[in-house]
Amino acid sequence: MTTAVTGATGQLGGLVIEALIERGVAPAEIVAVVRNADKAASLAERGVEIRVADYSDTAALTSAFGGVDKVLLISGSEVGQRIAQHTNVIDAAEAAGVSLIAYTSVLAADTSGISLAPEHKATEERLTASPIPAVFLRNGWYWENYLGSLGQAIDSGVWLGAGGDGKIAAATRADYAAAAAAALITDDQGGKIYELGGDERLTYAEFAEVLADVSGKPVVYKDVPESEYAAILQGAGLPDFVATMLASADAGISRGELDTDSGDLQALIGRPSTPVAEVLRSAL
């Protein structure tokens, strides 16, 4: 049984490969599909097979999937290009005759209003139309998305956002990676849709309380409208499209679109998700 992981030199991809090996998959049965072989040196040293293919190159992807049974398609990071890129990956998997595609999507991809959702929805639709069985790993937000803002929040005493009193069921990349690995090594995954989020479902006000507790400094949540939040992020130097995307995600949080009580993550990984306080403590 050979499993290919795309985006293998990315943060999630590397963690998925670690999680597969931890779960007893032999490195020689893992194919890391990367666009830059130099970045994959440490994977090669562990005995993982490296194959080079860009998401834009269907022919290279088809040969990268030669002899592969299962493919984990990790969504690309080039927002706006992803429908074409993911379609190439799926075309290639079909041409190579793989038996299962797992795809890292986003929570409630078919109904979510956040700006990142349409590319995930379109990819899921392409997969549904494929003769290859597919499993959707609908990941929630990463807690890591927030770590770069902790210092400023602690210094200013304010956690700023546009999430209203919506709950967010985030989890660490490592927990999502463990869930992906668990799905990949389990039989009969075709057709399954996992809504993946952490066990602690927090509003931003509650998140600010945890941050205050862990840091020992007062931090309170201040909510602003989506457009004002985007403008603040732009003013802080973020590129326009990133500021707009983050503000859109916060608006989604206010509507409950990055929340889930499915229990799917815990069921797949066989343990509770990593506690938020632990994530913040190690970040600080």
Residues within the interface to ligand NAP (CB under 6 A): 7, 9-13, 35-36, 39, 54-56, 74-78, 85, 104, 139, 141-142, 145, 173
Query: What is the closest distance, in whole angstroms, from the C-beta atom of residue 241 to ligand NAP in the complex?
Result: 14
Query: What is the closest distance, in whole angstroms, from the C-beta atom of residue 217 to ligand NAP in the complex?
Result: 26
Cβ proximity to ligand NAP: between 12 and 251 the closer is 12
**Looking at beta carbons, which residue is closest to ligand NAP?**
10
How far CA 135 is from CA of 57, 69, 86, 151, 183, in Å, comes to: 23, 14, 15, 38, 8
Torsions phi, psi for 7 (to 5 deg): 55, 30
| CA geometry: angle 99, 101, 105, nearest 5 deg | 165
Beta strand 220-223 pairing with 193-196:
unpaired
Cβ proximity to ligand NAP: between 85 and 248 the closer is 85
Q: Name 284's bridge partners.
A: none
Query: What is the closest distance, in whole angstroms, from the C-beta atom of residue 167 to ligand NAP in the complex?
Result: 16
Q: Determine contact, residues 55/72, Cβ cutoff 8 Å.
A: no
Q: At a CB cut-off of 8 Å and minimum separation 6, what does 118 contact?
A: none
Query: What is the closest distance, in whole angstroms, from the C-beta atom of residue 180 to ligand NAP in the complex?
Result: 10
Cβ proximity to ligand NAP: between 121 and 173 the closer is 173
Beta strand 220-223 pairing with 158-161:
parallel
Q: Which two tokens stand for residue 141?
A: 């937000």
Cβ proximity to ligand NAP: between 107 and 210 the closer is 107
Query: What is the closest distance, in whole angstroms, from the C-beta atom of residue 143 to ligand NAP in the complex?
Result: 9
The helix/strand/coil state of 114 is: coil
Q: Determine contact, residues 144/172, Cβ cutoff 8 Å.
A: yes
Query: What is the closest distance, in whole angstroms, from the C-beta atom of residue 256 to ligand NAP in the complex?
Result: 16
